[in-house]
């Protein structure tokens, strides 16, 4: 709840700043009529792909706050499992619940990029989706610890009912995209029916519990196939720069969750009353590591690449599931790593080392992969990234001798080196390109 309050205050600050420097002095002036700031009813039609200055709306920022709660819940549960020595056993439930969180966010984000009207009906249906996210978040502990997906399924159902309503409205009011919108509505409804039947059949014993995971995998494939099938009729008008910004904002949310998770570990260590050198090293190295991962993500602006390579947007968007899940898992790993420096936990040092190393390795590999899909000139060199990933994944084998603190510190140092090498090669390449084209530009100018 603390991070929710902080996020709300940050949005308030951003709103004040966006009003301009003279906003406070103008508060005594009469407010404009309500009709100029509130859109009661707007015809829902596809927004322009090249709409200038398209940015995330305040409603989208508010919507993201509910996912702060959901991600915090799933990260905290994974951290408890790691600390108890059951991290590997709880990995699959974590990935299942995180898929529900990520896919709900994906559905809203891509729809909003194409059809955001920001009128009353749109806002109210968005609020219903937010309520569904909060219900889903309430069911996370039972889903991960007891494999009870009842509340999670209910929250997912609430979200999907609101989303289908949005697509049906788009189909009614936008004749050009009617077939696409109706396909989305039908596909989402049928797959959601599958989720409900899966829960009921497994929960009542009509199907063995061993069938739950295969059914989950089949439904995931169907979920991912719905957009491809729906947009065969007509592609939606999602805005590339808006999508890139939204993914960047969600990345920042997940990095913030990792900071929050690490702070919970700090609180646990402080309550134990044992502050050691290892505690300081892990806390500082964790912050450096998260900063380096943030820097690496935003080295590439994906908007232009998505604009030029729209056909690769599916792979780019779907590939972020692994990136986002890795960041959430990293938060859990850092929380337990910090916590164990103050008191003993059931997990072995080797497991704690890999609880940090595996998420970082997955993040780096997938970050290179998704950027390679949309950028014309690669920023990350595959050999460098692969070398860093291999070293990071091998490093925890030395944990019994060098300790968890040293492993986290070295992983952070490797990521810092990767940032430095990437920036250096980019600068050198830019200077070399300027030298090659400089004389030509001068001679052509003289001619």
Beta bridge partners of 119: 39
Looking at residue 243, its pLDDT comes to 94
Looking at residue 437, its pLDDT comes to 64
The answer to which of 39-53, 114-128, 390-404 has the lowest mean pLDDT is: 39-53
Angle at 272 between CA 271 and CA 276, to 5 degrees: 110
For the chain, the first-to-last Cα distance in angstroms comes to 66
What are the C-alpha distances in Å from 381 to residues 364, 387, 421?
11, 10, 10
Distance separating alpha carbons of residues 63 and 73, to the nearest angstrom: 17
Angle at 338 between CA 337 and CA 340, to 5 degrees: 70
State pTM to two decimals. 0.86
State whether the Cα torsion 252-257-262-263 is positive or negative: positive
Decide: 83 and 149 in contact? Cβ < 8 Å. no
Of 34-48, 72-86, 269-283, where does the model show the most confidence? 72-86
Looking at residue 226, its pLDDT comes to 96
DSSP code per residue over 34-51: GGGT-BS-----PPPTT-
Q: Residue 290: which of 227, 343, 356, 208 has the closest Cα? A: 356
| Helices 212-230/313-340 angle, 10° precision | 140
123-135 pLDDT per residue, tens: 999 999 999 999 9
- Tell me: pLDDT of 5 over 60: no
More confident residue, 314 or 436: 314
Q: State the Rg of the chain over Cα.
A: 24
The model's confidence at residue 415, banded by pLDDT at 50, 70 and 90, is very high
Looking at residue 439, its pLDDT comes to 53
135-160 pLDDT per residue, tens: 999 999 998 888 889 999 999 999 99
Distance separating alpha carbons of residues 392 and 142, to the nearest angstrom: 33
Give the single-character DSSP code of 378.
Answer: -
Looking at residue 11, its pLDDT comes to 43
């Amino acid at each position: 709840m603390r991070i929710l309050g902080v996020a709300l205050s940050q949005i308030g600050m951003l709103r004040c700043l966006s009003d301009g420097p003279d906003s406070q002095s103008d508060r005594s002036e009469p407010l404009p009529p309500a009709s100029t700031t509130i859109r009661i009813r707007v015809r829902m039609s596809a927004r322009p792909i090249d709409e200038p200055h398209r940015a995330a709306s305040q409603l989208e920022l508010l919507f993201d706050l509910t996912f702060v709660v959901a991600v915090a819940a799933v990260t905290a549960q994974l951290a408890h499992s790691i600390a108890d020595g059951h991290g590997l056993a709880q990995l699959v439930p974590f990935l299942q619940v995180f898929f529900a969180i990520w896919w709900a966010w994906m559905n809203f984000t891509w729809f909003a990029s194409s059809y955001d009207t920001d009128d009353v009906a749109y806002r109210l249906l968005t609020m219903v989706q937010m309520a569904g996210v909060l219900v889903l978040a309430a069911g996370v502990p039972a889903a991960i610890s007891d494999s009870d997906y009842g509340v999670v399924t209910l929250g997912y159902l609430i979200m999907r009912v609101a989303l289908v309503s949005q697509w049906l409205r788009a189909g009614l009011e936008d004749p050009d995209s009617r077939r696409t919108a109706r396909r989305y509505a039908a596909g989402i409804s049928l797959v959601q029916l599958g989720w409900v039947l899966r829960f009921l059949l497994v929960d009542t014993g009509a199907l063995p519990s061993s069938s739950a995971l295969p059914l989950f995998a089949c439904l995931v494939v169907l979920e991912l196939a719905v957009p491809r099938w729906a947009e065969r009729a007509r592609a939606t008008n999602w805005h590339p720069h808006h999508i890139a910004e939204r993914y960047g904002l969600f990345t920042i949310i997940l990095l913030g969750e990792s900071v929050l998770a690490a702070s919970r570990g700090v609180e646990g260590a402080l309550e134990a009353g044992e502050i050691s050198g290892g505690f300081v090293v892990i806390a500082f190295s964790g912050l450096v590591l998260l900063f380096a991962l943030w820097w690496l993500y935003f080295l590439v602006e994906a908007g232009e690449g998505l604009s030029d390579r729209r056909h690769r947007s599916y792979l780019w968007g779907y590939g972020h599931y692994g990136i986002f899940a890795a960041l959430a898992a990293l938060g859990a790993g850092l929380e337990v790593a910090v916590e164990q420096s103050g008191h003993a936990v059931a997990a072995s040092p080797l497991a704690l080392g890999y609880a940090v190393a595996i998420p970082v390795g997955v993040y780096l590999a997938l970050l290179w992969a998704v950027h390679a899909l949309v950028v014309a000139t690669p920023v990350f060199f595959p050999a460098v990234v692969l070398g860093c990933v291999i070293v990071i994944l091998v490093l925890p084998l030395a944990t019994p001798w060098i300790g968890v603190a040293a492993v986290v510190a070295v992983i952070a140092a490797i990521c810092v080196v990767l940032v430095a090498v990437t920036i250096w090669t980019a600068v050198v390449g830019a200077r070399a390109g300027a030298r090659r084209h400089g004389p030509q530009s001068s001679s052509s100018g003289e001619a």
